[in-house]
Every structure is written in C-alpha cells, then in structure tokens.
C-alpha cells in the first residue's frame, strides 16, 4: 500500500511539474513581445535593424519625441482624437448593447426570433466588408470632411453594436424574472426595473461591455484609415503608429513607434483597473443572490 501511495504521489508530482513547465513556456511566449516592445521603446540606437536584443544605450528621448516632434507626425493630436472617439463610442455602444440585450431577454414581441436569427447571421460577416458602402453613405450626408470625421467614426463604431447583444442577453437570462414581477407588483415601470434592479445585478456584463466598446475604436485601423484618408489632423493612434513604420519614417521613428505602442496600452489598463472592482463585486453579489 505504501508503494502504491508513493508511486501515485510521484506521478502527481511529475504531472504538476509538467503542467507548470508548459504554463511557464506559454507565459514566456506571451510576455516576450511585450518585453521586447518596452525594451525597444527605451533604445537609444535609431532604426529597425540592430545586432543585439538588448539596447546598447537607454534613453527617454523616444517618449519625448512623441510629444515634441509634431511637425511630421502629431502624436498628441492623434492620441486625443482617439480618446475622444473611444469615449463617446463606448458610452453610446454600451447603452445600445445593454438596452437591446435586455429587450431581447425580457420582452416578447412579434418577429423577435427572426430578428435574433438575422442579427446572428449579420454578425458572422466581418465589418470591413461594408466599409466602402459606409464611406459613401457618410460622404453623401456630409460626414467625410473636416471635423465631422470624428462624428462619422463615432457613428461607425457605435451604429451596429446593438447587434452584438448575444453575450449580454445570455447574462440577463440568468437573472430571475421573479425579481421583475415583484417590482411590477410594487408599481415599477419596465425602465425602473431595468435601471434599478437589473443593472445593479449586472456589473460583470456591464464591465465586459464597457471594455469591449472602448477597445474597439481604440485599436481599430481599417475604418479609421478609410474614413480619415489623408486628413492627418484627424488621424487616430492606429494610423499614426502605422505611418511611423512607412519607408520614409521608419529609420527615425521606429523606436518612437515602440514608445507609442506602450503609451496606448495605458488607457486600456486604466479602464480595466478602474472597472475590475465592480466586476468582482458584481460576481460576489451574484453568488450571494
């Protein structure tokens, strides 16, 4: 018996060791590009071709250049353009997704199931398939020139988000309908039930919706490039970083490109850290309920 117990313990130790080694390798593969970008952002040698992995010299000039050398690539303006577009898109998209999800979960009306089937089919097609048609529609209504480009981008990023209601709907389906019925008996309206009962119990899905709604315009390149075209004063950070890798800029802007890649991750990290508490509180509340 002791031999069997010892052999089982040995097998368990070997199995745990193999699992930890595999996880360590996967963690290294995942973290290596991030570490490389951070190291490159502090590299003093210019250009994209170097003979060593670790920089031979370190400097903060790459970050400084992003905010001081604005004659060719105005990174601060691109950053503010993207931040404004992402904030407004996040607010509108989150409201639309949560509203449509709640309606699909709680309300029963004619053509409900056909609408859900059509929405599912439409979400199977990538959004960039319609970008040319979207551009000409925006051009026809005068939203493709000047300051209206920001409005156009907000409309593009938030216009069709309501179709992506399936994840939030699945969460709302888990909330007991008895809570709604009890509130109706107390005289509450559907909107009051949605805002005062369902939303406080739905913090995890609200956090998820806010994060995805913010990250989509923050990292998008295709639609921003099509709509902005050559209007450099309305470029987003994705277009700006892409421009830094073009032939005429890559030698002098490559390390600043890495610095820009580090900087644009900061707002996403801030949003995640700010909403993580609500996500955890919502999960604990859901378990207790």
pLDDT digits (tens, 9 = 90+) for 95-137: 999 988 988 888 888 888 888 888 888 878 777 778 888 888 8
> Token pair of 283, please?
């999960």
169 — pLDDT class (breaks 50, 70, 90): confident
Q: How far apart are CA 47 and CA 62, in angstroms?
A: 12
Same domain, 71 and 44: no
pLDDT of residue 88: 93
Which residues have a Cβ under 8 Å from the Cβ of 91 and sit 6 or more positions away? none
Share of residues in the chain with pLDDT > 70 (%) = 93
287 — pLDDT class (breaks 50, 70, 90): very low
Lowest mean pLDDT segment, chosen from 154-163, 196-205, 234-243, 268-277: 268-277
285 — pLDDT class (breaks 50, 70, 90): very low
pLDDT of 69 over the 70 cut: yes
Same domain, 15 and 42: yes
pLDDT of 218 over the 80 cut: yes
6 — pLDDT class (breaks 50, 70, 90): low
Same domain, 96 and 117: yes
pTM: 0.81
> Token pair of 46, please?
């210019």
Average pLDDT over residues 266-285: 69
Q: What's the Cα-to-Cα distance from 94 to each of 65, 90, 170, 180, rounded to whole Å?
A: 35, 6, 16, 22
Same domain, 122 and 12: no
Same domain, 132 and 18: no
Average pLDDT over residues 226-234: 83
Boundaries of domain holding 255: 64-288
Same domain, 47 and 77: no
pLDDT of 217 over the 80 cut: yes
């Amino acid at each position: 018996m002791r031999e069997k117990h010892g052999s089982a313990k040995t097998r368990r130790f070997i199995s745990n060791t193999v699992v930890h080694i595999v996880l360590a390798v996967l963690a290294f593969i995942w973290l290596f590009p991030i570490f490389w970008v951070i190291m490159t952002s502090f590299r003093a040698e210019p250009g994209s071709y170097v003979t060593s992995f670790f920089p031979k010299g370190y400097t903060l000039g790459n970050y400084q250049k992003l905010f001081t050398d604005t004659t060719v690539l105005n990174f601060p303006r691109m950053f503010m353009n993207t931040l404004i577009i992402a904030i407004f898109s996040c607010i509108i998209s989150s409201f639309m997704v949560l509203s449509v999800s709640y309606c699909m979960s709680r309300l029963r009306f004619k053509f409900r199931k056909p609408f859900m089937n059509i929405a599912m089919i439409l979400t199977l097609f990538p959004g960039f398939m319609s970008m040319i048609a979207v551009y000409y529609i925006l051009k026809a209504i005068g939203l493709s020139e000047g300051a209206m480009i920001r409005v156009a981008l907000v409309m593009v990023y938030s216009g069709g988000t309501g179709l992506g209601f399936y994840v939030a709907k699945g969460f709302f389906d888990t909330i007991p309908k008895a809570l709604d019925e009890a509130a109706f008996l107390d005289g509450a309206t559907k909107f009051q039930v949605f805002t005062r009962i369902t939303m406080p119990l739905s913090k995890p899905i609200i956090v998820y919706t806010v994060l995805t709604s913010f990250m989509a315009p923050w990292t998008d390149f295709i639609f921003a490039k099509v709509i902005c075209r050559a209007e450099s004063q309305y470029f987003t950070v994705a277009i700006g970083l892409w421009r830094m890798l073009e032939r005429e800029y890559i030698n002098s802007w490559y390390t600043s490109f890495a610095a820009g890649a580090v900087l644009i991750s900061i707002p996403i990290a801030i949003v995640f850290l700010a909403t993580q508490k609500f996500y955890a509180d919502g999960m604990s509340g859901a378990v207790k309920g």
